[in-house]
């Protein structure tokens, strides 16, 4: 018996090929620059600043070596930009964690330290880039310190305005800010790395830090 063509099950239409929109020239340039940046971060993290040659960076980024100079004046120019760029990422993550913290000055400070450790886990190359930066990329290192200092100063000024600080003198607040920054960087070097690899610090690291902030260390 012949099949009525009008009753036959119609074959599903073939999926239409979805074409990705072409990147503009500016978007392509930004993508290339980003690849060079990430490649430099990885190589400095693995080999240190001294080992981060233009040849290695461009090879890792899959970019022609001559193209490098379309984006950076020199190898040193790129290296000096690494820490400030990472510093902005760090600031954004910590800002988010502080906003999520309970409305308590100690909890906000706890979130800053825990957020710093979290960032190191996501960006493990930061430690080597930071530890060598003062010598190998002094301009970038100074910019990093200025960014972090300005961020912490704003945080402490916020707590001062709300009556959450026991000190009010601007010089003392500046000293406190430097102490807090130095403490988190020392703690990260002591408890976040073993044989060059990141390890998640024990909860007691943050807990002891909080005890110090609450004045629960000395009798």
Highest mean pLDDT among 11-15, 124-128, 169-173: 169-173
Express each pLDDT in 109-125 by its tens digit. Answer: 999 999 999 999 988 88
Question: Would you say residue 127 has pLDDT above 60?
Answer: yes
The CATH superfamily assigned to 76-211 is Tetracycline Repressor, domain 2 (1.10.357.10)
How many CB atoms are closer than 10 A to CB 74?
A: 11
Question: Would you say residue 30 has pLDDT above 60?
Answer: yes
- Residues 48-55 have a mean pLDDT of 93
pLDDT of residue 92: 93
Nearest to 188 by CA among 114, 101, 137: 114
Torsion of CA 197, 203, 204, 205, to 10 degrees: 50
Polymer length in residues for the chain: 219
Predicted TM-score of the model (pTM): 0.80
Question: Would you say residue 143 has pLDDT above 70?
Answer: yes
Among 1.10.10.60, 2.60.40.1180, 1.10.10.10, 3.20.20.10, name the CATH number for the domain at 25-72.
1.10.10.60
All CATH 1.10.357.10 domain ranges in the chain, comma separated: 76-211
Express each pLDDT in 63-122 by its tens digit. Answer: 999 999 999 999 999 999 999 988 888 999 999 999 999 999 999 999 999 999 999 998
The C-alpha atoms of residue 142 and residue 83 are separated, in whole angstroms, by: 9
Burial class (CB in 10 A: 0-12, 13-18, 19+), 163: exposed
pLDDT of residue 130: 86
């Amino acid at each position: 018996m012949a099949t009525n063509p009008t009753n036959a099950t119609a074959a599903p239409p073939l999926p239409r090929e979805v074409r990705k929109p072409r990147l503009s020239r500016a978007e392509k340039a930004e993508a290339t620059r980003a690849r060079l940046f990430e490649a430099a971060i990885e190589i400095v993290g693995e080999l240190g600043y001294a080992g981060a040659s233009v040849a290695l960076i461009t090879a890792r980024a899959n970019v022609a070596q001559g193209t490098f100079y379309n984006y950076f004046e020199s190898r040193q120019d790129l290296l000096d930009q690494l820490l400030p760029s990472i510093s902005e990422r760090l600031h954004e993550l910590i800002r988010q964690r502080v906003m999520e913290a309970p409305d308590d000055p100690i909890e906000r400070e706890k979130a800053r330290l825990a957020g710093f450790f979290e960032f190191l886990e996501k960006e493990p190359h930061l430690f080597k880039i930071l530890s060598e930066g003062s010598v190998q990329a002094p301009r970038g290192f100074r910019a990093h310190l200025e960014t972090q200092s300005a961020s912490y100063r704003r945080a402490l000024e916020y707590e001062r305005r709300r009556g959450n600080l026991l000190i009010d003198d601007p010089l003392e607040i500046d000293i406190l800010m430097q102490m807090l920054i130095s403490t988190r960087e020392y703690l990260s070097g002591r408890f976040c790395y073993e044989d060059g690899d990141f390890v998640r610090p024990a909860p007691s690291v943050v807990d002891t830090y909080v005890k110090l902030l609450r004045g629960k260390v000395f009798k």
